[in-house]
Amino acid sequence: MANTPVTAVRPPAPQPRDPEDADRPAGRKGKKHRIRQPLRHRLKRDKALLLFCLPGVLYFALFFYLPLAGNVIAFQDYQPFLGFKQSPFVGMANFTALVAEPEFWSAVSNTLQITAIQLLLYFPAPIALALLLNSLISEKIKRFIQTVVYLPHFLSWVVVVAMFKQVLGGAGSVTTLLMEHGVSIGNVMTDPGTFKFLITAQAIWKDCGWGTIIFLASIASIDMGQYESAAMDGAGWLRRIWHITLPGIRPVILMLLILRLGDILSVGFEQILLQRDAVGPDAAEVMDTYVYFHGVVDGDWGMSTAAGLMKGVIGFALILAANKLAHRFGEQGVYR
Amino acid sequence: MSQSVATRLRAARSGPRPRKSNGRPPWMERPHWYGQGAKGLALIALTVVVLYPFVLAIGTSLAGREELNANGGYVLIPHHPTLEAYRVILSGGVVTRAAVVSIFITLIGTALSLACTVMIAYGTSRPGTVLAKPILLLVLGTFLFAPGIIPTYLAVQQFHMLDTYASLILPVLLNAFNIVVVRSFFQSIPEELYDAARIDGAGEVTVLFRIVLPLSKAVLAVVGLFYAVGYWNSFFNAVLYLNDAGKFPIQVILRSYVLNGQSINASAMGVHSIPPATSLQMAVLIVAIVPIFCVYPFLQKFFVKGVLTGAIKG
């Protein structure tokens, strides 16, 4: 191992890796005994691999970590012509100005309301659909339904909103049909009162089917013997779902719930942006659209970045907290 | 009771039986007719709710003016289908241009994204590579934070990319999730193959092109299609970074015509007689989803596997 490192051969791979272990540095155990080659020799040895990583690393540096650092303008009175090197620092002034804005709090409140509605209505939908799909005996029917319900996931939000408009808009086909039978539902596409339910319905239409994939996989990994024994002991289908299927997919449900909690402040940005003007900002302004309209459109860079940063930090804290909570409940969570 | 003993004996003899692909397991009770009926109704309702808007859009885009007027604006199945609306929007003009822009962005973007994804995934997948761990952390960090709209916009502005096609590709070039999927596939390739190639004197580039890529066609197809769908559907980045309406991709045009109700006038289309507005709008809508329909069968074949590897690893 300690011979001339320039011609050094890459060390043989450690034990066949368990896929679960892949993210750990390979061969951690062997490392103690191996004499490490100097860094510059290892760099030279892995030159080709490092070159492979270069475009990707550049991308993440320039379009992810640099903007991440660019969040300093939340503490600046940012002037585009000065750039963020010369714009004066103003401490927390942007944040104090932000929390004094009633519009900001209206956006926060809308966001939280939408999240709450979606947690109640949208989150359980894929679980219910997965249970329904799982109960289908015929593989043919099951596959057909899966093909149908996965499809909307691949449409853009523009298409989804356009489709909702042609069906439920003021002149939409179903609206007109109901009108002919004396039922008026008005124009739900522009009604601020029902807007939060409308976007939840759109989210369910688009992604409920897609969301079943992970639950179906989790259900499939439950031992069929459990169902058989339960059936022998007289448990009907409802009891089997309640006592076997649901506990079996509990870790996945909790994991997705945690991920959703970390995202509590982001609700369908493109989706809402597309419909904000039709409904009006009072009901449809959420944190992301607030940031967009006050920053890019109105040019209030510092304050809108402050709002974005606040959202990011709260989201990050929520993810950590929810993960802790999952561990408390004895579940795996997203990471350890 | 005797039946239960028999079942248990059989289970003990052969271990857990594979789940039957067709037919009801013997222990499962016969369902009641009303249970079956409710399930059937639910499935039919589900199918109708998902497919109705598609059929309505296709039908309306093919219908003529009289039929639309007679039916109150929308038609499910036209009796005298005409391709007039498609002829108008695809005969040059705004929609044609936008479709060409979208195709161009999708092809170039997908090629670039896929190449960079494969490279960084391969570069970090070999055990013991120096710096692989920090690079991987760089990638995984994107799951935890988000830079936010404004700083990203300002970065794109600093790079002088506003109002260029590059702004539709480079800011969304890579996706950490896709990298993780490809990387974990590379790691599942038996180590012996790598060793054998290396003993034969192959360098990393040869190993990647001769050994790894030919084995990864399926996963590359999935990830490539995910990127392609992303580029084709991208809407907000165009609104954010582009001012020049001539560079708008199809989704932005779809929004202005269908959602914002901008009228499709004859001069924008370069023709004189115009089919009804609803037909034109629905034709634009269909143009915006046809590519998705074309790749969907391929996607469907692979994506469940692709999504799951990523979900479990990520």
Domain residue limits, chain A: 1-37, 93-328
**Chain B partners of A288 at a C-beta cutoff of 8 Å?**
149
Q: Do B77 and B40 fall into the same domain?
A: yes
Residue A76, helix vs strand vs coil: strand
Q: Do B109 and B68 fall into the same domain?
A: no
Q: How confident is the model at residue A5 (pLDDT cuts 50, 70, 90)?
A: very low
Yes or no, beta carbons of A63 and B21 under 8 Å apart: no
Which pLDDT does position A22 carry in this prediction? 44
Which pLDDT does position B17 carry in this prediction? 52
Q: How far apart are CA B235 and CA B255, in angstroms?
A: 9
Residue holding tokens 């996706």? B175
Whether B260 is in a domain gets the answer yes
Q: Which amino acid is at A158?
A: V
Which one of B53, B57, B174 has the shortest CB-CB distance to A56?
Answer: B174
**Chain A partners of B187 at a C-beta cutoff of 8 Å?**
17, 19, 22
**Chain B partners of A217 at a C-beta cutoff of 8 Å?**
304, 308
Yes or no, beta carbons of A70 and B24 under 8 Å apart: no
Report pLDDT digits (tens) over B202-261: 888 899 998 899 988 888 988 998 899 999 999 999 999 999 988 999 999 999 888 877
Yes or no, beta carbons of B191 and A237 under 8 Å apart: no
Which pLDDT does position B103 carry in this prediction? 96
When computed from its CA atoms, the radius of gyration of chain A, rounded to whole angstroms, is 26
Q: How far apart are CA B26 and CA B7, in angstroms?
A: 9
Q: Do B217 and B104 fall into the same domain?
A: yes
Tokens (6 digits) for B287:
């143009």
Write out the DSSP string of A269-318: HHHHHHHHHHH-HHHH--HHHHHHIIIIIT--HHHHHHHHHHHHHHHHHH
The domain boundary, picked from B67, B82, B97, lies at B82
Higher-confidence residue: B222 or B49? B49
Q: Do B220 and B278 fall into the same domain?
A: yes
Q: Do B101 and B59 fall into the same domain?
A: no
Residue holding tokens 């109901």? A178
Which pLDDT does position B313 carry in this prediction? 42
Identify the helix (H) or strand (E) that includes residue A162: helix A157-168
Q: How far apart are CA B197 and CA A72, in angstroms?
A: 49
Q: How far apart are CA A221 and CA B149, in angstroms?
A: 40
- Which range of residues forms the domain containing residue B286? 86-313
Q: How far apart are CA A334 and CA A256, in angstroms?
A: 9
Report pLDDT digits (tens) over B136-147: 999 988 888 888
SS3 content of chain A, % helix, strand, coil (to 5): 70, 0, 25
Report pLDDT digits (tens) over A221-255: 899 899 999 988 988 888 999 999 999 999 899 88
Q: How confident is the model at residue A8 (pLDDT cuts 50, 70, 90)?
A: very low
Report pLDDT digits (tens) over B32-45: 888 889 999 999 99
Whether B216 is in a domain gets the answer yes
Cα nearest neighbour of B15 on chain A: A225
Average pLDDT over residues A46-69: 93
Which pLDDT does position A335 carry in this prediction? 66
Q: How confident is the model at residue B67 (pLDDT cuts 50, 70, 90)?
A: confident
Q: How confident is the model at residue A29 (pLDDT cuts 50, 70, 90)?
A: very low
Report pLDDT digits (tens) over B100-143: 999 999 999 999 999 999 999 999 998 888 888 899 999 988 88
Whether B3 is in a domain gets the answer no
Checking if the pLDDT of B48 tops 80, the result is: yes
Angle at B121 between CA B115 and CA B122, to 5 degrees: 90
Interface mutation vs chain B, best among A73, A129, A158, most B CBs within 10 Å: A158
Which pLDDT does position B251 carry in this prediction? 95
Residue B129, helix vs strand vs coil: coil
Which pLDDT does position A186 carry in this prediction? 81
Yes or no, beta carbons of A214 and B148 under 8 Å apart: no
Higher-confidence residue: A39 or B282? B282
Q: Do B273 and B173 fall into the same domain?
A: yes
**A37-41, A109-113, A156-160: least confidently modelled range:** A37-41
Checking if the pLDDT of B22 tops 60, the result is: no
User: Mean pLDDT of all residues in chain A?
Assistant: 85
Whether B16 is in a domain gets the answer no
Yes or no, beta carbons of A56 and B139 under 8 Å apart: yes
Yes or no, beta carbons of A158 and B174 under 8 Å apart: no
User: Mean pLDDT of all residues in chain B?
Assistant: 84
Checking if the pLDDT of A139 tops 90, the result is: no
The domain boundary, picked from B82, B117, B151, lies at B82
Q: Do B187 and B220 fall into the same domain?
A: yes
Q: How confident is the model at residue A266 (pLDDT cuts 50, 70, 90)?
A: confident
**Chain A partners of B158 at a C-beta cutoff of 8 Å?**
83
State in words which class domain A93-328 has.
Answer: mainly alpha
Q: Do B78 and B119 fall into the same domain?
A: no
Yes or no, beta carbons of A154 and B296 under 8 Å apart: yes
Cα nearest neighbour of B36 on chain A: A136
The structural domain count of chain B equals: 2
Q: CB-based contacts of B133: which residues, under 8 Å, 6+ apart? A: A25
Whether B25 is in a domain gets the answer no
Angle at B47 between CA A131 and CA A183, to 5 degrees: 110
Q: Do B118 and B41 fall into the same domain?
A: no
Whether B2 is in a domain gets the answer no
Q: Do B200 and B305 fall into the same domain?
A: yes
Report pLDDT digits (tens) over A168-223: 988 888 888 888 888 888 888 888 989 999 999 999 999 999 999 889 989 988 99
CB A213 within 8 A of CB B304: yes
Q: How far apart are CA A320 and CA A259, in angstroms?
A: 10
CB B265 within 8 A of CB A170: no
Which one of A52, A71, A273 has the shortest CB-CB distance to B120?
Answer: A52
pTM greater than 0.90: no
Q: How far apart are CA A204 and CA A153, in angstroms?
A: 10
Q: Do B78 and B209 fall into the same domain?
A: no
Cα nearest neighbour of A319 on chain B: B144
**Chain B partners of A25 at a C-beta cutoff of 8 Å?**
133
The domain boundary, picked from B82, B115, B145, lies at B82
Q: Which amino acid is at B205?
A: V
